[in-house]
Amino acid sequence: MNDGITFPRLLTVKNVAEILCVPVSTVHHWAIHGEGPPSFKIGKHRRFDAAAVLRWIEETKRAA
C-alpha cells in the first residue's frame, strides 16, 4: 500500500498532517482528544510511529 513512499521511523505532527492531507491543527486536536492515529510525546514533542499511522490509515479505510 505504501506506493513507493518510504516512511521514517518516527513522524512529526507536520509529517502526519501532510500524509493525511489535513491541517496541523486537526492532528493536534485528534491527539488531545484521543482520536486519529496513536501518538506519544518525547519531552514536549509529539511523535507518531510510522507503522502505527499506516495501520490506522488501513483500519480507517476498512471502516469507511
- Over the stretch 18-31, which tens digit does the pLDDT of each residue have? 999 999 999 999 99
Question: Is pTM beyond 0.85 here?
Answer: no
The pLDDT tens digits of the residues spanning 4-56 come to: 766 668 999 999 999 999 999 999 999 999 999 999 999 999 999 999 999 99
**Nearest to residue 27, comparing CAs of 42, 10, 41, 14?**
14
pLDDT on residue 4: 74
